[in-house]
Amino acid sequence: MIPFLHLGPLQIPTFGLMVAAAMLAAYFVLRADLVRRGIAAKDSGVAEAFIALPCLAGIIGAKLYHVLETPRELLADPVGQLFSRYGLAWFGGLIAGFAAFAWLARRRKIPLLTMFDVGSPAAAIGYGVGRIGCLLSGDGDYGKPTSLPWGMSFPHGLVPTTQTCVAWGWPATCKVQPTPIYEFIAACVIAWILWRIGARQIAAMHASPSSAKAPAERLSFPPAGEVFAFYLILTGIERFLVEFIRINPRSFFGMTNAQTAGLASIIAGALMWWKMRKTQPAAVETTKASSRRA
């Protein structure tokens, strides 16, 4: 692990460096999706706005959520806790980031669900790249002690694995599950799946209107919001499962806070998808009936 890069008198935290890399990766994916959907040109500056403001809001939200999870520590040292370079909560960043995203979409008069669809693959890939920052800094986001051959040790990390190993009854030199790598791989897979669902949406929108079946066929493809629904479901599943091998403390019904948030994300996404699928067949039948009358 490399918590800091030293360039002469400068000390650059690798976590912050990877957050910047995550923003850059998300920017390129978002810009490509805006272009392929015909929402904004490559040089329009729209992608920059939709990355900069939500990312800033996400970092603030992640920090606030993290410090509010431990009110005793916050009250003991409010300035130190609020302005520490460490400690970001995924769910807080998700809420604040999407709130800023929604505000920008409304301001630019872009349909909200469409813009959430556009931002979902970018959010997934950005999260994955950001997790590499956790790996490099050794900030404690790793998993439980393991004897697996790909286990890793962070004796000089910001949160040394020696503390975790001893706490779990293992030798101080033990290795732990490299959960940031697992999450990076999962995030890349999720981003690819969401990108493919988006491609189906675009294909449906560009279906030839001259065909008598075209209206019904367009409705049978993923409607606006389905990419976002799958984002909530898939990222929620990933977060819920990885917590089983993480070292976070348990709170609600034996689950960690992140697992609870992940479960809420799964439920919200599933309800959203179910509602869209429930209303879609009725819309298809109405379209078919109109075509027959015509």
In a domain, 193, yes or no: yes
pLDDT digits (tens, 9 = 90+) for 135-193: 998 888 889 999 999 999 988 887 888 888 988 899 998 999 999 999 999 999 999 99
| H-state helical runs in the chain | 14-36, 46-69, 71-76, 78-82, 90-107, 112-137, 161-167, 179-205, 214-220, 226-242, 257-293
The total number of structural domains that make up the chain: 1
- The reported pLDDT for the residue numbered 80 is 66
- The reported pLDDT for the residue numbered 218 is 46
What predicted TM-score, i.e. pTM, was given to this entire model? 0.83
Q: State both tokens at 16.
A: 């912050």
Inform me whether the pLDDT recorded for 87 exceeds 80: no
- The reported pLDDT for the residue numbered 6 is 83
Inform me whether the pLDDT recorded for 283 exceeds 80: no
Q: State both tokens at 132.
A: 């590499």
Inform me whether the pLDDT recorded for 127 exceeds 50: yes
In a domain, 168, yes or no: no
Mean pLDDT of 272-277: 89
What mean pLDDT is reported for the chain? 84
In a domain, 236, yes or no: yes
Mean pLDDT of 16-36: 94
In a domain, 158, yes or no: no
- The reported pLDDT for the residue numbered 11 is 84
Ranges 14-23, 80-89, 92-101: which has the least confidence: 80-89
- The reported pLDDT for the residue numbered 287 is 45
In a domain, 163, yes or no: no
- More confident: 84 or 28: 28
Q: For the chain, give the percent of residues with pLDDT over 70.
A: 84
Q: State both tokens at 153.
A: 């040790």
- The reported pLDDT for the residue numbered 12 is 84
- The reported pLDDT for the residue numbered 90 is 66
Mean pLDDT of 102-121: 93
Q: CA Rg, the chain, in Å?
A: 22
Q: What is the 3-state secondary structure (H, E, C) of 191-237?
A: HHHHHHHHHHHHHHHCCCCCCCCHHHHHHHCCCCCHHHHHHHHHHHH
In a domain, 60, yes or no: yes
pLDDT digits (tens, 9 = 90+) for 244-260: 999 888 877 889 888 99
Torsion sign (Cα): 104, 29, 123, 280: positive
- The reported pLDDT for the residue numbered 223 is 79
Confidence class for position 291, pLDDT limits 50, 70, 90: very low
In a domain, 155, yes or no: no
Q: For the chain, give the percent of residues with pLDDT over 90.
A: 49
In a domain, 207, yes or no: yes
Domain that residue 186 falls in: 12-143+178-293
